[in-house]
């Protein structure tokens, strides 16, 4: 991936990376991950809907012959 940022932002980024003793690419990765967590969090919730089954259930029918 390649990105273009304004020169003043790049200078601030390099300065911050030196201060944190991290590669610039790692600082960019951390910043992007932080932004995405704030703006578009991953959801580990399972989306479900209420069931509408109105019949009968028999385990014999389901597992017959096993």
How much is the pTM? 0.58
More confident site: 17 or 50 = 17
Q: What is the pLDDT of residue 55?
A: 75
Dist CA 13 CA 5 (whole Å): 10
Dist CA 54 CA 30 (whole Å): 50
Closest C-alpha among 35, 1, 28 to residue 13: 28
Spatial neighbors of 21 by CB under 8 A, at least 6 apart, are none
Q: What is the pLDDT of residue 7?
A: 97
């Amino acid at each position: 991936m390649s990105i273009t940022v304004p020169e003043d932002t790049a200078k601030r980024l390099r300065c911050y990376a030196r201060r944190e003793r991290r590669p610039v690419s790692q600082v960019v990765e951390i910043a992007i991950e932080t932004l995405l967590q704030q703006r578009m969090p991953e959801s580990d919730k399972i989306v479900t809907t209420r069931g509408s089954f109105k019949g009968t259930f028999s385990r014999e029918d389901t597992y017959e012959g096993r």
